[in-house]
Amino acid sequence: MKKLNFLSIIACVVMCVGTVSCGGPEAVDLGLPSGTKWASYNVGALSPEETGGFYAWGEVEEKNNYSDSTYKYANASNGYRPINIGENISGTEYDVARKNWGGDWRMPTKEEIGELRDNCRWVKIIYNGVRGYKVIGPNGNSIFLPACGCRVGTELRMMGQYNTWKNLAGYYWSASSSDDGRAAVEMVLSSNACFTIGTSEGCQGHVIRPVK
């Protein structure tokens, strides 16, 4: 029995190699005013530098083509204008973080990505061969956000594995729609502006960094 237990421990250690932890993503406390904790990696990833999955806004599965014609929440009879699924989908059936990770994990709101922008220090680094930003909170804890590009149609654009910082970008969905309801709010990492908050059509494929 003792030998079996020892082998079980060895097997667990081997299985954990290359991942952040056997228990899943870590909720990193950055010391933000709201107390919001950010995940240590993206939905669909197993480590901070991995891209994870690309998702259209409000969709919970990956696909090969991210365009108006394949967007689940676009109305073909009305010029593919988006269908209103809510101003804030965080924690709802449209939230891919909640769908895939469960528990209290959810997509961040535009207010929460604004808080991350305004209260943290952003340092451009290469982490395990991937370009992106180390985001350092007021308490000194940090997360890494890879510049993993985005998917438009069938194309993958501007990933951090490129050998240059030129035209580098990373696009992360928030859970918030734009004020006019025709797009969704995104967090954009770039080689020039470091961090901006913008909007994109929901049909595009962006990555997700959950919060709780």
Per-residue pLDDT of the chain (212 residues; tens, 9 = 90+): 444 443 433 333 333 333 344 568 999 999 999 999 999 999 999 999 999 999 999 999 999 999 999 999 987 776 666 778 999 999 999 999 999 999 999 999 999 999 999 999 999 899 999 889 999 999 999 999 998 889 999 998 775 444 455 567 889 999 999 887 778 999 988 776 567 898 999 999 999 999 99
Structure tokens at 33: 């005013």
Structure tokens at 29: 């406390």
| Residue 31: HSE in the Cβ half-sphere, 13 Å Cα cutoff | 11
Q: Please, are residues 56 and 74 in contact by the beta-carbon 8 Å criterion?
A: no
Continuous segment of H or E residues that includes residue 156: strand 155-159
SS3 191: coil
pTM: 0.85
Check residue 117 and report its DSSP letter. H
